[in-house]
């Protein structure tokens, strides 16, 4: 499941909506919506994200959060390390090989490191 898929499922469940109802309103198939929620489809289009924001009638921070989650929810990514240090290529390859073996705490630790770096750059 992707972060975007998890959030859409939470919003849908909180409002007591079925996947079939939501899919019909968004003019997508229930199978597509299910695949999107389960991370079996790629990143949703900007248009679909906007339709989902409108469907749930969310505004401001929650809408921005849905857009952010959509951007970071591609289940199959490619990392271009050409021109970077050899260690960057090693890191990308090892992460690809080992990500399925990481537990939630280890993933959280890596995400926290990236978040700290981002705050440092922005701060």
State pLDDT tens for residues 48-102.
Answer: 999 999 999 998 999 999 999 999 998 888 999 999 999 999 999 999 999 999 9
pLDDT at 106: 97
Looking at the fold, whether 57 and 94 belong to one and the same domain comes out as: no
Q: Could you give the number of structural domains in the chain? A: 2
Please compute the mean of the pLDDT values over residues 12-25 and round it to a whole number.
96
Helix then strand then coil, % of the chain, to nearest 5: 70, 0, 30
Q: Which residues contact 1 (CB under 8 A, 6 or more apart)?
A: 9, 37, 38, 39
Query: What pLDDT score was predicted for residue 123?
Result: 82
Averaged pLDDT of the chain: 94
Assigned domain for 106 exists: yes
**54: CATH:** 1.10.260.40
Residue 4's pLDDT is 95
Mean pLDDT to the nearest integer, 20-42: 94
Residue 40 within a domain: yes
């Amino acid at each position: 499941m992707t972060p975007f898929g998890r959030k859409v499922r939470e919003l849908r469940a909180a409002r007591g909506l079925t996947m079939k109802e939501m899919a019909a309103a968004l003019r997508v198939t229930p199978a597509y919506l299910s695949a999107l929620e389960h991370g079996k489809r790629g990143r949703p289009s900007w248009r679909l994200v906007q339709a989902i924001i409108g469907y749930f009638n969310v505004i401001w921070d929650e809408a921005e959060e849905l857009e952010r989650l959509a951007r970071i929810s591609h289940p199959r990514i490619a990392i271009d390390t050409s021109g970077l240090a050899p260690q960057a290529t090693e890191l990308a390859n090892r992460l690809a090989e080992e990500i399925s073996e990481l537990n939630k705490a280890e993933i959280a630790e890596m995400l926290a490191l990236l978040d700290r770096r981002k705050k440092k750059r922005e701060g």
